[in-house]
Amino acid sequence: MTTTVEAPQQQSAAAAVLTGATAMGFVGSSVAISAVLSDAPLFTAQSLRYAAACLILLGFVRLAGRSVTRPRGAEWAWLLGIVGTGMVLFNVALVRGSEHAEPAVLGVAVASVPIALAAVGPLMTGRRPEARVLLAAAVVTVGAGLVQGLGRSDAIGLAWAVVVLACEAGFTLLAVPLLARHGAWGVSVHTTWLAAVVFGALGLATEGPTAAAELTGGELAAVGYLAVGMTAVAFVLWYSAVGRLGTARAGLLTGVAPVAAAGVGVAMGGAAPGPLVWLGIAVVGVGLSVGLTASSRER
């Protein structure tokens, strides 16, 4: 009888791990794609990205026969928190931080997210962090850091790196109070349309109403990829994994992103990974094995 009950649970957890890893694969692959937008009007491009993603999500919702619940009360504050930190400030921090720090420094900041989620996530549900998952998060972070490499930075760059870390963690943590009522689809739909509005307002104020006309064909293609893969698909997959695994264990899967980025870099003609990168990939794998086999109580 026990086996009959546990088998579906194990299959469900395995599916959630695959879902979260796929989402982080999209995130990692977007690094090279995002570089295409380095000279594009930032706020306008992001507004178009999130508007397109929202329309795609609404189409999927209708085809799947699902419904999206209207936010109420404090839920608006949580949604705006996700948009303000995990989307708007995160993108600003990446741009400003890159002016004072090499990309690897900001990459290591993002790679530190597993530790933040493993420590803070359980506290948000009234539980204590699990020592095994914390250890696994530290291992994944070290591995991701080896994959990313180290870089140089001044004090301002390090400050922006801390902001990047906080914003990346906030994208997941601030969604926790919303997932029970809205689910992955609802949170994804509401955050994308809100982000489109916020970025659109910033774009009109700082880049002007004709900024969209300045986007080249290649930049529009990049916006399209980010809207579909990095946003519409990855958001739903990621929030689904968080809802099933909990923030602590799902957070370990962020270590997949730099591994995917390294793989895409090679596929696009970059140099083959060196020994440290291969070592980092192996360390990430060890961390995932340790943390994802733990019996998590955070649900």
- Of 85-89, 167-171, 257-261, 295-299, the one with minimum mean pLDDT is 295-299
Confidence check: pLDDT of 298 > 70: no
What was the pLDDT predicted at 42?
87
Q: What are phi and psi of 4, to 5 degrees?
A: -60, -35
Report if residue 195 sits inside a domain.
yes
Domain assignment of residue 163, given as a range:
35-292
Residue 22 lies in a domain: no
| pTM assigned to the model | 0.84
Q: Which of 65-79, 118-132, 156-170, 279-293 has the highest mean pLDDT?
A: 65-79
Tell me the C-alpha distance between 98 and 94, whole Å. 6
Q: What is the pLDDT of residues 44-79, one digit of tens each?
A: 999 999 999 999 999 999 988 888 999 999 999 999
- Answer yes or no: is 14 within a domain: no
Q: Looking at the domain assignment, is residue 30 inside a domain?
A: no
The strand pairing partners of 184, in sequence order, are none
Q: Could you tell me if residue 277 is inside a domain?
A: yes
How does DSSP classify residue 33?
H
Long-range (24+ apart) CB contacts under 8 A made by 86-90 are 86/167, 86/168, 86/170, 86/171, 86/172, 86/174, 86/191, 87/46, 87/50, 87/171, 87/191, 87/195, 87/198, 87/199, 88/195, 88/198, 88/199, 88/202, 89/163, 89/167, 90/164, 90/167, 90/168, 90/171
Q: Is residue 15 part of a domain?
A: no
**β-strand partners of 156:** none
pLDDT score of 202: 95
Please state the domain count of the chain. Answer: 1
CA distance 168 to 172: 7
Residue 43 located in a structural domain: yes
Residue 298 domain-assigned? no
Q: 245 pLDDT exceeds 60?
A: yes
Residue 155: how many other CB atoms lie within 10 Å: 9
Tokens of 88: 């708007």
Q: Is the pLDDT of residue 1 over 60?
A: no
